[in-house]
């Protein structure tokens, strides 16, 4: 069954200026668990004592999800993760000669030995530990190095190989596309008798993170990384709500997800990250299911599918109609019905005129203000 790995507490904290206190991390993890996320990446314990303590707290919190730590390919990082008693360990190390030579001053053979030895060490210390190895910047690294490192990692005990598009480099439809990459790596490892689970970690630098992740899934990836609001380094990674809704609604993947908890989760993360949810953000944004233009509203009120390809009920939301300069008679009728107010045609026309004049000042009318407008217009019409 496809697994979603949520990295809001790890990758999400790599958003400039974002840090979640321990009690907020716990609240986020609880909601992720209620939604039914399989793996929660809780942090990199080496970074600070606070993160170490939070990872440990979450591990002992009795969540259904596997709680994981991030780790460099170093025994000291593994020891800290093991101290936190995590179920899942994500170990990363680059495999490009350019970076190995310039940053780490070592060759690929030494790097692969190091990767294999820390994985063996981790597995020996906790045999049930689910271990993921990520060749950092996988897709821009020499393919043979990726294969050699992945094979050594699996032989040393890694369960998962993560294909990381660390810089958002892959573009669907070009020779650098995720579907072909995942297929080729799976086939190459299979030819060596190795069949690890494949995870995909897609950055959104060019805006293709979700499309690439779906391409990876179509090619056989079994784990997809995401974060709330797509938080993460630079332009972030795959957005959790967009991923989960697409997989459930359009790919009908087997799942036990309760996506109605997503709005609460997004507002919690937005409040404590200081990253606002754009009004036009897909699925979660205030406007995602709100119809504006009179023609649209007229049709959507009769049948929302005229202008919606997704039922907002999937995340517990409802369609709505904006009351502003674009409104038409149908918009007002829709709103009056919500308020259980009867009005004749002259009154509705008067209300519409009033709403439009407010909308032209760049403001929307909500239902509570509409009540006052109705009262005002009743007097005006009678007079």
Using CA atoms, how far apart are residues 100 and 279, in angstroms rounded to an integer? 43
Say how many residues touch Zn ion, by CB under 5 A: 1
Kindly write out the interface string for residues 2-41 of this chain, putting x where it contacts Zn ion by CB under 5 A and - elsewhere: ---------x------------------------------
Catalytic residue from among 296, 298, 354, 372: 296
Name the residue nearer to Zn ion (CB basis): 204 or 330.
Answer: 204
Q: How far is the CB of 201 from Zn ion (least distance, A)?
A: 6
Q: How far is the CB of 211 from Zn ion (least distance, A)?
A: 17
Using CA atoms, how far apart are residues 368 and 356, in angstroms rounded to an integer? 16
> Read out DSSP for 121-149?
HHHHH-TT-EEEEEEETGGGS-HHHHHHH
Answer for the pair 71, 81: CB distance below 8 angstroms, yes or no. Answer: yes
Q: How far is the CB of 246 from Zn ion (least distance, A)?
A: 20
Name the residue nearer to Zn ion (CB basis): 136 or 264.
Answer: 136
Name the residue nearer to Zn ion (CB basis): 148 or 225.
Answer: 225
Name the residue nearer to Zn ion (CB basis): 11 or 239.
Answer: 11
Q: What ranges in the chain are assigned the alpha helix state H? A: 22-35, 49-59, 75-83, 97-99, 108-125, 143-156, 178-191, 209-218, 240-249, 262-273, 294-302, 329-338, 345-359, 367-382
> Read out DSSP for 156-183?
HT--EEEEEETT----TTSSS-HHHHHH
Name the residue nearer to Zn ion (CB basis): 39 or 374.
Answer: 39
Q: How far is the CB of 152 from Zn ion (least distance, A)?
A: 22
Angle between helix 143-156 and helix 178-191 axes, rounded to 10 deg: 50
Q: How far is the CB of 165 from Zn ion (least distance, A)?
A: 9
Name the residue nearer to Zn ion (CB basis): 92 or 281.
Answer: 92
Contacts of 137 (CB under 8 A, 6+ apart): 94, 96, 99, 164, 166, 167
Q: How far is the CB of 134 from Zn ion (least distance, A)?
A: 9
Using CA atoms, how far apart are residues 304 and 335, in angstroms rounded to an integer? 15
Residue 325 known to be catalytic = no
By Cβ distance, which residue is nearest to Zn ion? 11
In angstroms, the Cα distances linking 69 to 91, 103, 118 are 9, 24, 15
Answer for the pair 185, 147: CB distance below 8 angstroms, yes or no. Answer: yes
Q: Which residue has the tokens 């909500």?
A: 366
Answer for the pair 106, 149: CB distance below 8 angstroms, yes or no. Answer: no
Q: Which residues bind Zn ion (CB under 5 A)?
A: 11
Residues with a catalytic annotation lie at: 296
């Amino acid at each position: 069954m496809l697994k979603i790995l949520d990295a809001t507490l790890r990758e999400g904290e790599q958003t400039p200026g974002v840090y979640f206190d321990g009690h907020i991390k716990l609240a986020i993890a609880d909601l992720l668990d209620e939604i039914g996320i399989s793996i929660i990446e809780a942090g990199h314990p080496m970074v600070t004592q606070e993160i170490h303590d939070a990872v440990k707290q979450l591990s002992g919190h009795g969540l259904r999800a596997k709680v994981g730590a991030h780790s460099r390919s170093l025994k000291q990082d593994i020891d800290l993760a093991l101290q936190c008693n995590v179920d899942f360990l994500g170990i990363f190390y680059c495999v490009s000669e350019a970076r190995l030579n310039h940053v780490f001053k070592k060759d690929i053979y030494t790097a692969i030995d190091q990767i294999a030895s820390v994985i063996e060490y981790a597995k020996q210390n906790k045999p049930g530990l689910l271990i993921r190895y990520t060749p950092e910047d996988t897709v821009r690294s020499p393919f043979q190095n990726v294969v050699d490192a992945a094979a050594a990692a699996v032989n040393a005990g890694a369960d998962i190989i993560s294909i990381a598009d660390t810089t958002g480099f892959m573009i669907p439809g070009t020779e650098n596309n995720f579907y072909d990459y995942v297929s080729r790596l799976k086939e190459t490892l299979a030819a060596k008798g190795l069949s690890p689970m494949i995870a995909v970690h897609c950055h959104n630098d060019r805006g293709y993170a979700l499309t690439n992740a779906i391409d990876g899934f179509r090619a056989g990836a079994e784990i997809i990384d995401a974060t709330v609001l797509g938080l993460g380094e630079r332009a972030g990674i795959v957005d959790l709500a967009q991923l989960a809704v697409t997989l459930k609604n359009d790919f009908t993947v087997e799942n036990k997800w309760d996506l109605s908890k997503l709005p609460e989760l997004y507002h919690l993360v937005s409040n404590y990250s200081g990253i606002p949810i754009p009004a036009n953000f897909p699925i979660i944004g205030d406007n995602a299911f709100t119809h504006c233009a009179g023609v649209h509203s007229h049709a959507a009120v009769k049948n929302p599918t005229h202008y919606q390809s997704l039922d907002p009920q999937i995340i517990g939301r409802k369609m709505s109609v904006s009351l502003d300069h674009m409104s038409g008679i149908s918009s007002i009728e829709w709103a009056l019905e919500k308020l259980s107010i009867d009005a004749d045609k002259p009154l509705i026309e008067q209300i519409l005129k009033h709403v439009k004049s407010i909308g032209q000042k760049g403001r929307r009318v909500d239902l509570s203000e509409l009540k006052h407008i109705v009262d005002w217009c009743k007097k005006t019409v009678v007079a």
